[in-house]
């Protein structure tokens, strides 16, 4: 319905088609200073809080904003270095009446590939996506090598989904280890290999 762009934020106002419920979403992405953008209670090893950090905390408290437990991990940012630094920089906050309207919502930390940040997703339901119909043209069967090409495609690309799931699982194990105790050199190398492989197979899935 409306939108507004601030110095460190983008806001949009929505109206639900089904019941005309009006609500607004604001994405805050600054200030972009390392010492100013954290929430005080969620910085590993932090001993001093800036005025901006306290102001942010007070705003959350005064507005009565709700922060659901983050599923899938504790922190959303890590420098992935030998001397590990972690923080929960990313989160969804919402009002009580919005939670009443969407009672099944949850926020979950997703996997990351190369960014210092773990992406997070706010889940509030599901919808059915219609599949596009696929047409087989009979003339294709008359082309030399077509059947062999289909067989090659099934063998090479048919297990992409299985490979992807295994790679995400392996990456999750390493990320949990990194969060709890840090990674050894060989484990960090293995994480890099898995991320490279994931980039390839997720691209194949997207094209498919």
Give the model confidence (pLDDT) of 4-24 as tens digits.
998 888 999 999 888 899 999
* Domain assignment of residue 79, given as a range: 31-123
Residues 96, 155 within the same domain = no
Residue 162: band (very low, low, confident or very high) from pLDDT cuts 50, 70, 90:
confident
Residues 47, 112 within the same domain = yes
Q: Which residue is associated with the tokens 């898995």? A: 194
pLDDT of residue 145: 77
pLDDT exceeds cutoff 70 at 42? no
pLDDT exceeds cutoff 60 at 43? no
How far from the centroid of its chain's Cα atoms is residue 192's Cα? 19
pLDDT of residue 10: 94
Q: What is the mean pLDDT of the chain?
A: 80
pLDDT of residue 152: 65
Residue 140: band (very low, low, confident or very high) from pLDDT cuts 50, 70, 90:
confident
φ, ψ dihedrals at 164, nearest 5°: -65, -45
Question: Residue 80, by phi and psi: left (phi above 0), alpha (psi -120 to 50) or beta?
Answer: left
Residues 109, 40 within the same domain = yes
Residue 100: band (very low, low, confident or very high) from pLDDT cuts 50, 70, 90:
confident
Burial classification of residue 70, based on how many CB atoms lie within 10 Å of its CB (0-12 exposed, 13-18 middle, 19 or more buried): buried
Q: What total of structural domains would you count in the chain? A: 2
Residues 168, 109 within the same domain = no
Angle in degrees, CA 56, 108, 32, rounded to 5: 35
pLDDT of residue 164: 84
pLDDT exceeds cutoff 70 at 153? no
Q: Is 75 helix (H, G, I), strand (E, B) or coil?
A: coil
Residue 155: band (very low, low, confident or very high) from pLDDT cuts 50, 70, 90:
low
Of 37-46, 72-81, 156-165, 188-197, minimum mean pLDDT range: 37-46
Q: List residues bridging with 13 in a β-sheet.
A: 2, 24
- Residue 130 forms part of a structural domain: no
């Amino acid at each position: 319905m409306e939108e507004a762009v601030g110095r460190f934020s983008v806001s949009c106002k929505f109206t639900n088609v089904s019941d005309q419920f009006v609500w607004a979403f604001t994405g805050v992405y600054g200030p972009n200073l390392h010492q100013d953008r954290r929430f005080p209670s969620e910085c590993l090893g932090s001993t001093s809080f800036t005025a901006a950090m306290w102001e942010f905390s007070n705003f959350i408290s005064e507005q009565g904003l709700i922060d659901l437990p983050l599923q899938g991990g504790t922190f959303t940012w890590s420098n992935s270095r030998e001397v590990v630094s972690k923080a929960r920089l990313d989160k969804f906050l919402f009002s009580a009446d919005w939670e009443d309207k969407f009672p099944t919502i949850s926020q979950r930390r997703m996997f990351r590939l190369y960014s210092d940040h773990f992406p997070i997703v706010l889940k509030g339901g599901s919808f059915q996506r219609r599949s596009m119909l696929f047409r087989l043209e009979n003339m294709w069967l008359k082309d030399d090598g077509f059947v062999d090409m289909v067989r090659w495609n099934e063998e090479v690309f048919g297990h992409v989904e299985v490979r992807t799931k295994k790679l995400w699982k392996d990456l999750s194990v390493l990320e949990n280890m990194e969060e709890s105790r840090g990674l050894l050199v060989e484990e960090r190398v293995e994480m890099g290999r898995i991320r490279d492989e994931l980039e390839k197979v997720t691209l194949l899935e997207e094209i498919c």
